[in-house]
Structure 1
Amino acid sequence: MEKAAFEGWLESVSTSFLALSDQQRNQSLDHLISLSGAVQLRHLSNGLEALLKRDFLRLLPLELAFYLLRWLDPQTLLTCCLVCKQWNKVINACTEVWQGVCRDLGWRIDESIQDAVHWKGVYLKAKLRMKQLREEDAFETSSLIGHSARVYALYYRDGLLCTGSDDLSAKLWDVRTGQCIYGIQTHTCATVKFDEQKLVTGSFDNTIACWEWSTGAKIQQFRGHTGAVFSIDYNDELDTLVSGSADFTVKVWSLSAGTCVNTFTGHTEWVTKVHLQKSQVESMMHSPGDYILLSADKYEIKVWPIGREINCKCLKTLFVSEDRSVCLQPRLQFDGRYVVCSSDLGIYQWDFSSFDVVRIIKPQQDPSSISLLSFGEVFALLFDNNYLYVMDLRTEAIVGRWPLPAYRKSKRGSSFLPGVTSWLNGLDGKNDAGLVFATSMPDHSIHLVLWKENG
């Protein structure tokens, strides 16, 4: 057929084809394909591939490709990396994508690191750690043995754990090696706190004492309470020590002189927790940088200003039930912005600038049986009689747990504590190491739960 005649025929066929229904068009194509030979079928295949199998990731501008990739879940991203070298190159160059999936897992993101391959590696490690948490494989245990009577008090900082016992001694342990660094003779310790030079202890004999680690000598003694001293806190910069007692009072002391500066009254139950901390927010009652003392008993938390020793009045009283039908558990946390405490109804969080309850978390387990260990920005560490729990605070779902032995119960909450807590504000691949939880056991040993090295 000559060219002119062929073009006329093709125009006529095209006009007729466009007038057909979809079903008729399909039938026409099926008939033409059945009449085609190998040359025509190869030509058809090459044409269809160009029309239907376009590599959109290669064709799109890079910033638009990055935007689309952010909508994919991590597993799909990893699958897409296997499509071809070009896809792998594009996906591995998208820093925001890998930072985003790490953030979704609860990882802390350093925005200054703009290396996508780095964040992809972090994601793979993070995925493994979260899998270990789900499968009860993230932690390991060890014991500290050395006391000959019940251990009442524990305090942890910078890899060191201090224990105070009924055997009239306090010991300082290196958690990593399990070795006892110092052991000094004291009174029966109900609460302890230490730094590099000294140890401060509160006792069931109603007194507080300050000891020197290197010599074991008693540097200072504080007398004035008429009941056991259940909680202490101090600040060297302020030269201030605070204490809470079974005599229902809170006392403020000069740390260097050993003299009582003030006594706060108003509690009608044992004061089981005192906490001294700078405020980081402003309200009508305090400003950022002001030192604040929190004291807690069975039913309420009182907020006191420190530095106003004359006519010092309680700024605020926090509680979860006006009729005192709900008990607070002896776990109090204050970071200068929020006050957090667990109760029989759940975990309560107060905004320190307004003193309003901003959040109530009710675990799936019985709230009265589960206790708060530590509360962060991303995760919370909880426990009950049987397990240690890691909760994702964004979803309030339990993302990991670890079985606990039959540890010694303490109504004052002094015989168990969290270890390193920075990871609760977001894991970063480095802070998931060291001590997670410590508690005293009926056989006078200390049971430790530690992070297992991330494989």
Structure 2
Amino acid sequence: MEKTAFEGWLESVSATFLTLNDQQRNQSLDHLISLSGAVQLRHLSNGLETLLKRDFLRLLPLELAFYLLRWLDPQTLLTCCLVCKQWNKVINSCTEVWQGVCRELGWRIDESIQDASHWKGVYLKAKLRMMQLKDQEAFETSSLIGHSARVYALYYKDGLLCTGSDDLSAKLWDVRTGQCIYGIQTHTCATVKFDEQKLVTGSFDNTIACWEWSTGAKIQQFRGHTGAVFSVDYNDELDVLVSGSADFTVKVWALSAGACLNTLTGHTEWVTKVILQKSEVESMVHSPGDYILLSADKYEIKVWPLGREINCKCLKTLSVSEDRSISLQPRLQFDGRYIVCSSDLGVYQWDFASFKVLRVIKMQDPANLSLLSFGEVFALLFDNHFLYVMDLRTEVISGRWPLPAYRKSKRGSSFLAGVTSWLNGLDGGNDSGLVFATSMPDHSIHLVLWKENG
């Protein structure tokens, strides 16, 4: 058939084909296929493959493609990045998608950062760290050696660890290098807290002292307790120091003058923890910015509105059992919004605005499992054998790390958590530095640190 005649015939057949219904069209195609040979069938197969495939991500407007990508789970997103360069480019340019992925993991999102590759990197590094936690590959260990007697007091801040010992000394260590920066002669230390200039120590000799790091001189001494001082906290803005003691009292001191301003009574057990912190929430009895003092013994946590007046009255008493059948562990945490403490039943979290229990995390063996630190996404716990990371969204242990036979302490002061910002969500940069420290029977300090370049 000549070309002109063929084109005319094809146009006529096409016009007739368009007038048919779907069933008639299908029958026509079936008949034509039955008449076709191998060459025609091969041509048909190749053509159909091209016609049926549609790169919807390339064809869609970018805004609509971003909308569809939000419905994919993270693993599918990563798989789609491997399809082709165009898909990878589109997916890697969608900031909202990767912010959403990180938000679903519980991370805090800084909306000012609009770089999609940043959030994808945060996600990938966080997932890698989670895999390392599961496989016991996230941490490494080291030791600090220098004390000649039991190390009882530990305090960590900004990469520096302070240790107080029965050898009548306190030392300040650079955790990263393991070097001792300062070593000063003190009394026996049951608790320590420091800043750039000074060190405050509470002692088994019933006194509190303030020391100058650079000279080792005693700046101030606080006398008045009739039992060992187990916990201290201070605030330079208020010029106030607070202390908890085995004499069942909490004392409020003038930090610079050393004079006792008030003795708070009401505890019937050793006061093992005091915390001085600003409130970040408002209620009927306190406002944001008010200074709050928390004190804890074996059974109760007491709340004192210290910032309003020195002669304050107890605002609230919290406990986990009215009959004192359940004791609290000496791990109290307060960030201005929530109070967290572990007990023989599990971990309790109170809302500071209402003083209501928000959640109770019950564990299989709470009598032996202790709380170290509590965040928005993770909690750090430990027992006699392991350090545990719990995902607070599922209350499932995400990973663990073996611990040596550390020195046991019922009061709990001979171990602590290091950097805690990662407990609010791994952000790609806060998985570094000290994780856990504890004193050992040989008077050394055992450190657990994040493994670099995770």
Deviations, residues 198-245 of structure 1 (Å, cap 9, x unaligned): 111111111111111111111111111111110000111111010000
Is it true that 1:158 corresponds to 2:162 in the alignment?
no
**TM superposition shift of 1:2:** 12
Deviations, residues 113-166 of structure 1 (Å, cap 9, x unaligned): 222233323332222222111111010000000111111100010111110111
Moved more, 99-108 or 206-215: 99-108
Structure 1 stretches lacking a partner, 5+ long: none
Distance in 2, matches of 1:366 and 1:376, equals: 21
Distance in 2, matches of 1:347 and 1:28, equals: 73
Moved more, 62-71 or 317-326: 62-71
Secondary structure of the structure 2 residue equivalent to 1:177: coil
Distance in 1, matches of 2:298 and 2:23, equals: 79
Query: Is contact 1:190-1:202 (8 Å) kept?
Result: yes
Distance in 1, matches of 2:391 and 2:7, equals: 70
Distance in 2, matches of 1:178 and 1:8, equals: 90
Distance in 1, matches of 2:281 and 2:453, equals: 37
Judged with a 3 Å threshold, the aligned counterparts in structure 2 of structure 1 residues 9 and 307 are, in CA distance, closer, same or farther, namely: closer
Q: Give the structure 2 partner of residue 390 of structure 1.
A: 389
Judged with a 3 Å threshold, the aligned counterparts in structure 2 of structure 1 residues 323 and 56 are, in CA distance, closer, same or farther, namely: same
Q: Give the structure 1 partner of residue 404 of structure 2.
A: 405
Deviations, residues 34-65 of structure 1 (Å, cap 9, x unaligned): 43135533553355235422222222222221
Query: Is contact 2:290-2:308 (8 Å) kept?
Result: no
Secondary structure of the structure 1 residue equivalent to 2:78: helix
Distance in 1, matches of 2:2 and 2:98, equals: 61
Identity over the aligned pairs, expressed in percent? 90
Judged with a 3 Å threshold, the aligned counterparts in structure 2 of structure 1 residues 130 and 344 are, in CA distance, closer, same or farther, namely: same
Query: Is contact 1:276-1:293 (8 Å) kept?
Result: yes
Query: Is contact 1:102-1:126 (8 Å) kept?
Result: no
Secondary structure of the structure 1 residue equivalent to 2:237: coil
Query: Is contact 2:194-2:200 (8 Å) kept?
Result: yes
**TM superposition shift of 1:83:** 1.7
Distance in 2, matches of 1:410 and 1:72, equals: 49
Moved more, 144-153 or 52-61: 52-61
Aligned 1:185-224 pairs, distance under 5 A: 185-224=185-224
**TM superposition shift of 1:187:** 0.8
Distance in 2, matches of 1:69 and 1:309, equals: 56
Deviations, residues 13-52 of structure 1 (Å, cap 9, x unaligned): 9999999999999898666434313553355335523542
Secondary structure of the structure 1 residue equivalent to 2:215: coil
Query: Is contact 2:261-2:310 (8 Å) kept?
Result: no
Query: Is contact 2:342-2:370 (8 Å) kept?
Result: yes
Distance in 2, matches of 1:454 and 1:225, equals: 48
**TM superposition shift of 1:303:** 0.2
Query: Is contact 1:200-1:208 (8 Å) kept?
Result: yes
Query: Is contact 1:173-1:180 (8 Å) kept?
Result: yes
Distance in 2, matches of 1:138 and 1:147, equals: 29
Distance in 2, matches of 1:240 and 1:381, equals: 30
Secondary structure of the structure 1 residue equivalent to 2:33: helix
Distance in 2, matches of 1:110 and 1:307, equals: 32
Deviations, residues 360-385 of structure 1 (Å, cap 9, x unaligned): 112x4312221111111111111111
Question: What TM-score do the two structures reach when normalised by structure 1?
Answer: 0.92
Moved more, 72-81 or 42-51: 42-51
Query: Is contact 1:129-1:454 (8 Å) kept?
Result: no
Query: Is contact 1:106-1:427 (8 Å) kept?
Result: no
Question: What TM-score do the two structures reach when normalised by structure 2?
Answer: 0.92
Judged with a 3 Å threshold, the aligned counterparts in structure 2 of structure 1 residues 368 and 17 are, in CA distance, closer, same or farther, namely: farther
Judged with a 3 Å threshold, the aligned counterparts in structure 2 of structure 1 residues 289 and 14 are, in CA distance, closer, same or farther, namely: same
**TM superposition shift of 1:274:** 0.3
Query: Is contact 1:437-1:449 (8 Å) kept?
Result: yes
Extract structure 1 runs of 4+ deviating beyond 6 A. Answer: 1-28
Moved more, 231-240 or 307-316: 307-316
Query: Is contact 1:415-1:439 (8 Å) kept?
Result: yes
Judged with a 3 Å threshold, the aligned counterparts in structure 2 of structure 1 residues 396 and 21 are, in CA distance, closer, same or farther, namely: farther
Query: Over the residues paired in the alignment, what is the CA RMSD in angstroms?
Result: 3.0
Distance in 2, matches of 1:162 and 1:8, equals: 95
**TM superposition shift of 1:110:** 2.6
Moved more, 230-239 or 106-115: 106-115
Query: Is contact 2:406-2:438 (8 Å) kept?
Result: yes
